């Protein structure tokens, strides 16, 4: 599916932010592990969380969706079981890495596969700690397909994260939880803490302390988890596309309700505000242990910014759309320490650079980032042109938003991947004044 932009987009109105992808996947996994009746509201019915739901159902979770799109977990009379059929996690890195933790901790037998993008992504980052914990795990040179066979993880485990990754942290926590062992994780740079918050919210004995500037996360061996309901807050990573759309156009105001504001995820808001964005944060509240708020975003004069170091893991998924904001800001934006972007659903630094080159946006590449030479004007294109999404949802949506500032329509190719994280993107952006044509 290619999508073509229109040149008269004028963003305003009020929209509800779609459910958070990271949280939706975690609540399925922890909810199914808890094995009790539970209702999940606000779940993101995107392809990634649905892959995780299918994966859990393949090992016996019996998760259902009702006619109001609520997710229903029901108490089963048996625990999880092995899977003879391959478990396909599609495009979802979170689904795969977290399921590997759960299934290893349970000592199950299962084989995991995924789509072309997931099959090319590095998995040693979870395979190595899981193997150290005692899992029997075989991969194809650190990548999919990956098989695990029955094992017993029974020693307490301590691990210092060599890369800033919430998926690795969560994989180890889930393996420890499922195996019933004590786990300690040392996290030199803060990454999203949804797993820790959710475990705490469900009654687990988990504490995070600080030592020499690093987080030390400790989960004890005996945990009685309990919850009857969970409400997933909106995904700030999805809201970021809407925020930038309003900021770079003549928007009189766009209200985005129910946006997750977890401090380990809200870096994009800080960055945009530092760039001069006019964003009002209203109705701050807590929903199932996660902060959330409503945002009002108005047209703003943006300026360039320097981004490196500890903020990077906090904004890792938003860097492509921040780069688009930077392209229409006054002055230079410098992004460093972001080499992890090269192993996401696509090589996002390369994909952004190629799209920028097609649009004539001046930039310079580094192995771990780029310098973007911004200018607030509309880009004058001599003719319509095509941009490659690289089958990556965040690249596709970033360039569709860039289309708001192009003098001619642009076509972003292969946009199906948007359904992994933002299934109603086309309808929602149309409801606030920007038509995309299939």
> Which residues belong to the active site?
317
For residue 351, give the nearest of 303, 313, 399 by alpha carbon. 399
For residue 254, give the nearest of 289, 284, 279 by alpha carbon. 279
> How many whole angstroms separate alpha carbon 105 and alpha carbon 152?
8
Q: Is 312 helix (H, G, I), strand (E, B) or coil?
A: helix
Nearer to ligand S3P, 98 or 133 (CB): 98
From the CB of 163, what's the least distance to ligand S3P, in Å? 8
From the CB of 394, what's the least distance to ligand S3P, in Å? 9
Interface residue list for ligand S3P (CB under 6 A): 22, 94, 165-167, 170, 192, 316-317, 340
From the CB of 337, what's the least distance to ligand S3P, in Å? 13
For the record, the structure tokens of 45 come out as 């019915």
Nearer to ligand S3P, 166 or 321 (CB): 166
Question: Residues in the chain, how many?
Answer: 438
From the CB of 410, what's the least distance to ligand S3P, in Å? 25
Nearer to ligand S3P, 192 or 363 (CB): 192
Task: Classify burial at 253, counting beta carbons within 10 Å of its beta carbon; exposed 0-12, middle 13-18, buried 19 or more.
Answer: middle
317 touches 324 (CB < 8 A): no
Instruction: For residue 343, give the DSSP letter.
Output: G
From the CB of 170, what's the least distance to ligand S3P, in Å? 6
Nearer to ligand S3P, 130 or 316 (CB): 316
For the record, the structure tokens of 105 come out as 């901790």
Nearer to ligand S3P, 187 or 317 (CB): 317
> DSSP string spanning 161-194?
-SS--HHHHHHHHHHHHHHT--EEEEESS----H
Instruction: For residue 335, give the DSSP letter.
Output: E
Q: Is 37 helix (H, G, I), strand (E, B) or coil?
A: coil
């Amino acid at each position: 599916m290619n999508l073509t932009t229109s040149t008269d987009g004028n963003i305003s109105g009020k929209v509800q932010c779609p459910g958070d992808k990271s949280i939706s996947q975690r609540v399925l996994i922890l909810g199914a592990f808890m094995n009790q009746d539970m209702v999940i509201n606000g779940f993101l019915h995107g392809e990634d969380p649905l892959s995780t739901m299918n994966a859990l159902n393949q090992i016996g979770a019996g998760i259902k969706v009702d006619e109001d799109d609520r997710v229903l977990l029901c108490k089963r009379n048996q625990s999880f079981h092995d899977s003879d059929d391959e478990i396909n996690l599609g495009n979802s890195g979170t689904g795969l890495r977290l399921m590997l933790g759960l299934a290893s901790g349970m000592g199950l037998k299962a084989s995991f596969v995924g789509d072309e993008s997931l099959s090319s992504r590095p998995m040693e980052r979870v395979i190595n700690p899981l193997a150290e914990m005692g899992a029997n795990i075989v991969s194809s040179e650190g990548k999919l397909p990956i098989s695990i066979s029955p094992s017993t993880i029974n020693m307490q485990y301590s691990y210092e994260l060599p890369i800033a990754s919430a998926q690795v942290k969560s994989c180890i926590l889930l393996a420890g939880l499922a195996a019933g062992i004590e786990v300690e994780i040392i996290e030199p740079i803060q990454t999203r803490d949804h797993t820790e918050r959710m475990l705490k919210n469900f009654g687990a004995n988990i504490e995070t302390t600080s030592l020499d500037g690093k987080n030390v996360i400790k989960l004890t061996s005996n945990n009685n988890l309990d919850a009857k309901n969970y409400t997933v807050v909106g995904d700030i990573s999805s809201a970021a596309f809407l925020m930038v759309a309003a900021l770079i156009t003549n928007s009189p105001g766009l209200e985005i309700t129910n946006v997750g504001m977890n401090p380990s995820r809200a870096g994009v808001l800080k960055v945009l505000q530092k760039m001069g964005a006019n964003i009002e944060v209203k109705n701050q509240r807590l929903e199932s242990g996660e902060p959330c708020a409503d945002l009002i975003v108005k047209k703003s004069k943006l300026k360039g910014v320097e981004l490196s170091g500890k903020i990077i893991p906090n904004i890792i998924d938003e860097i492509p759309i921040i780069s688009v904001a930077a392209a229409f800001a006054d002055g230079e934006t410098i992004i460093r320490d972001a080499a992890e972007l090269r192993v996401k659903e696509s090589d996002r630094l390369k994909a952004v650079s190629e799209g920028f080159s097609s649009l004539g946006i001046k930039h310079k590449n580094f192995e771990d980032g780029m310098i973007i030479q911004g200018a607030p004007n509309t880009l004058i294109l001599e003719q319509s042109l095509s941009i490659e999404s690289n089958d990556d949802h965040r690249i596709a949506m970033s360039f569709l938003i860039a289309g708001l500032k192009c003098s001619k329509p642009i076509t972003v190719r292969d946009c199906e991947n948007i359904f992994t994280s933002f299934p109603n993107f086309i309808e929602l952006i149309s409801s606030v004044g920007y038509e995309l044509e299939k």
